[in-house]
Amino acid sequence: MQVGLLPRALGRPAVPMELVVARELQLRGSHGLAAHAYPELLDLVRAGRLRPDALVTRRIGLEEAGTALAALSEAGTPGITIIDVG
C-alpha cells in the first residue's frame, strides 16, 4: 500500500512485477480523501467514532518547527507532531 505521493527526488519506484504476479499480490494506493466524503468523515469525528487526536504523539513550539521539518526525511517517532503557535 502506498499512501500519498512519493517525493520527486526519489524518482519512480521500481516495482518487481514478476513478484507481484508470482505471489498474486495486489497493489493499492491512496492519494487522499475525496472532498465529497468530508461531511461523512467529520460526522464520524463529531460522534467520537473516529479519533484523530489519538494520532498526535508530540507537541512542539514554533521555535522547534524548523528542526522537526528538516528531520521529516529520517525515521522517527510515528504519529503526528502538532506545532503550537499560541
Note the residue count of the chain. Answer: 86
Residue 58 three-state SS: strand
Helices (H), 23-82: 38-46, 65-70
pLDDT band at 1 (very low <50, low <70, confident <90, very high): low
Assess contact for 65 and 85: CB atoms under 8 A: no
Query: Residues 8-55: pLDDT tens digits?
Result: 787 888 889 999 999 999 888 777 787 888 999 999 999 999 999 999
Q: Give the residue extent of every domain in the chain.
A: 2-84
Q: Model's pTM, two decimal places?
A: 0.48
